[in-house]
Structure 1
Amino acid sequence: MQMDRRAWMTGAGMAGMGAMLGAVPAPAMAAAGLTRPPRLRQGDTVGLIEPAGFTDDAFDLDLARETITAMGLNPTPARHLTARYGYLAGEDADRAADVNAMFADPEVRAVFAVRGGWGCARILPLLDFATIRKNPKLLVGFSDITALHLAFAAKAGFTTIHGPNASSSWGSYSWDAFRAVAFDGATPTFANPVGHEDRLVQRAGRIRTFGPGVTRGRLLGGNLTVLAALMGTPWLPDFSGAILFIEDVSEQPYRIDRMLTQLSLAGVLGKLAGVVFGQCTDCGPAGASFGGFTLSEVLQQHLEPLGIPAFQGGQFGHVANQYSLPLGVQAEMDATAGTIRLLEPAVA
């Protein structure tokens, strides 16, 4: 089934947000053992880290700081924020030290990754999870930050947010979604934005349903490449009964096939309650592909046989605007409608 026109969020009205955003009372069904970090408030101090790749233009770092300031927050840079070590933002020990310091600092209320890239997995053994666990605070970012999200889900036991990095564009679509989850403690329903193309039939914002129906489970996921690279390590949470959300960028269909096969052979896909595949930016085949599988065909081959609700096309990934998906919280997905509804707040 495909969806053509849909508001990006639905639900009961919330003061100041209009009809685009809904907040309903959260049910008394907190995920077992899940700790909620404190919600963000205007004037809070938040940390800026680069746990993976570096930003090569100081002007771009200034824009990231200004973006956080425009949220009403006070950004404080990590000690090694401007460091560089090859293609990484400083040596592993220094990047890990920045993460540890931000979670140990009582003045810092949340931690934003400036960007992704590659390198988060390299610092996982160097993180002080005893300290991190004692100081729950929101970690925000996507792409390579998936390694931190999944490790925190496995080792720290509190909510983190798969959402825009500090250097992302932060249009109203992304900002409203993040504010609802991180500031307001809302439980919105995420759905794709309404398409406004000059076409008889809209193409933007459509979904493909591989397994119809509604299911519930805790949200876990992020970038597929990063997740697959962590298979067989102690840094992955238990996916039993989870709703897996995944996305990627610049991966040909055969590579997506390879990674989903890895998840299948490892038993991950067979444990899930549902799957949402978001956006796969620049994921077409390189060159002529006559006789090859499309991305949707690869997904159909892996997801349809699972016999669980599953759909493609959720608005998250390497795109200008995206949902803010809190890892660890209970959610409900409707694979026929193409929606994800939070069943409990991500913050206290």
Structure 2
Amino acid sequence: MTRELVRPPKARPGDRIAVLSPSFAAPGFAPAVHEQAMRRLAEATGLVPVEYPTTRLLGANPEQRAADLNQAFADPQVRAIIATVGGEDQVTVVPHLDAEAARRDPKPFLGTSDNTNLHQWLWSLGIASFYGGSTQVHLGPGPGLDAVHAASLRAALLDGGRLEVSDPGESEDVGRDWNDPRALTEHGDREPTEPWSWSGPERSVTGPTWGGCLEVLQWVLTAGRFREEPDALAGGVMLLETSEELLPAREVGWIVRALGERGLLAAVDAVLVARPPVSDFERRPDATERAALRAAQRDVVVEQVARYNPDAVVCVGIPFGHTRPQWILPHGGAVTVDGAARRVWADYG
């Protein structure tokens, strides 16, 4: 049976929001982008950003970063938590977290990428969260907040409600270098998006979400931190996205196949796959090759889902995860995937 999760209460304007670096302390590397992000976070939400000892501390050890998370969960004046960015070693932070503090006072947590570790930790405690939000990527850079990000940010933190997940019509894989002054005023190289790709039966599915960054899910499973039987995801919606590491399509397929062998693909009723990044600062294939790389990832995921669960509704190309503009989506909250109408809605309650 699908696991029932607690949905943390919303914050209110004037409340404090902890801004933490559970993985890489990007604010210590590029403080100008961080400071602009803090101003914009306050302006967009009315919340008061609060930094902690490791928010800007490059090289902080796992115990120090966990201590900041524990303090934020334990502080009754802090009503939400957002991560500055992802990284690659948050798996080492999780053993030092205080589960009882999070259970006593559940709060909305927002983060993406390596923060999949924290989303899975909260899910294991029975607490819903929000997959998305990165102050250093989605709030600080560029001329301002993207409209879809601002709407889902407010819905996750303050307003709740049910929003239709839409395509903003443009996307970038990577912005300007954070230490380039143009990062404060310009987007990265954006290009038009392709229509979302639908497969599976033409039916509507509504269920709680589970998932995150595909590479990090592999680490979570390898570390033995998803101990539930597959039926804990029964009737749910799986969220899958890939990182700026630009995995080859065949490796994406191998990981998705392993999810199938674990029984997780067969358990869910729908799978949402994000538009993947296919370029970075060093590698920028031409437009034709970029489209081909995205199509290759799409095809291998669709193939593996169909192999293990031909009844699942699958939509590929949703703007969440590592590209921008980004939708923040519920993790453990309800999402509707309508394969007949070819529309997606998210419940931020």
TM-score (norm 1): 0.80
In the aligned structure 2, how far is the partner of 1:321 from the partner of 1:102? Answer: 28
Residues 47-72 of structure 1 deviation map (CA, whole Å, 9 limit, x = unaligned):
01100112212223212322222222
Q: Which has the higher helix share?
A: 2
In the aligned structure 2, how far is the partner of 1:67 from the partner of 1:282? Answer: 28
| Partner SS, residue 276 of structure 2 | strand
| Partner SS, residue 281 of structure 1 | coil
Q: Does 1:75 align with 2:46?
A: no
1:234, CA displacement in angstroms?
4.4
Residues 124-273 of structure 1: pairs in structure 2 closer than 5 A:
124-155=94-125, 157-169=126-138, 170-194=145-169, 204-212=193-201, 213-236=203-226, 238-249=232-243, 250-273=246-269
Q: Gapped runs of 5+ residues in structure 1?
A: 1-30, 197-201
Residues 207-233 of structure 1 deviation map (CA, whole Å, 9 limit, x = unaligned):
111213221221111111111221144
Q: Check the 8 A contact 1:149/1:160 in 2, yes or no.
A: yes
Which moves more between the two structures, 329-338 or 66-75? 329-338
Are the structure 2 counterparts of residues 211 and 295 from structure 1 closer, same or farther at C-alpha, using a change threshold of 3 Å?
same
Corresponding residue to 2:270 among 274, 289, 306: 274
Q: Check the 8 A contact 2:211/2:238 in 1, yes or no.
A: yes
RMSD over equivalenced CA pairs, Å: 2.8
- Partner amino acid for 1:154? S
Aligned to 1:298: 300
In the aligned structure 1, how far is the partner of 2:170 from the partner of 2:123? Answer: 34
1:100, CA displacement in angstroms?
0.5
Corresponding residue to 2:314 among 310, 316, 323: 310
TM-score (norm 2): 0.80
1:120, CA displacement in angstroms?
1.5
Q: Check the 8 A contact 2:196/2:316 in 1, yes or no.
A: yes
In the aligned structure 1, how far is the partner of 2:263 from the partner of 2:223? Answer: 14
Which moves more between the two structures, 127-136 or 240-249? 240-249
Q: Gapped runs of 5+ residues in structure 2?
A: 139-144, 172-190
1:176, CA displacement in angstroms?
1.2
Aligned to 1:17: none
Equivalenced residues, count: 304
- The alignment-based identity, stated in percent, is 24
| Partner SS, residue 11 of structure 2 | coil
1:171, CA displacement in angstroms?
1.6
| Partner SS, residue 330 of structure 2 | strand
Are the structure 2 counterparts of residues 335 and 193 from structure 1 closer, same or farther at C-alpha, using a change threshold of 3 Å?
farther
Which moves more between the two structures, 225-234 or 45-54? 225-234
- Partner amino acid for 1:229? W
Are the structure 2 counterparts of residues 186 and 230 from structure 1 closer, same or farther at C-alpha, using a change threshold of 3 Å?
same
Residues 307-339 of structure 1 deviation map (CA, whole Å, 9 limit, x = unaligned):
111121111121221222111123321134443
Q: Does 1:44 align with 2:15?
A: yes
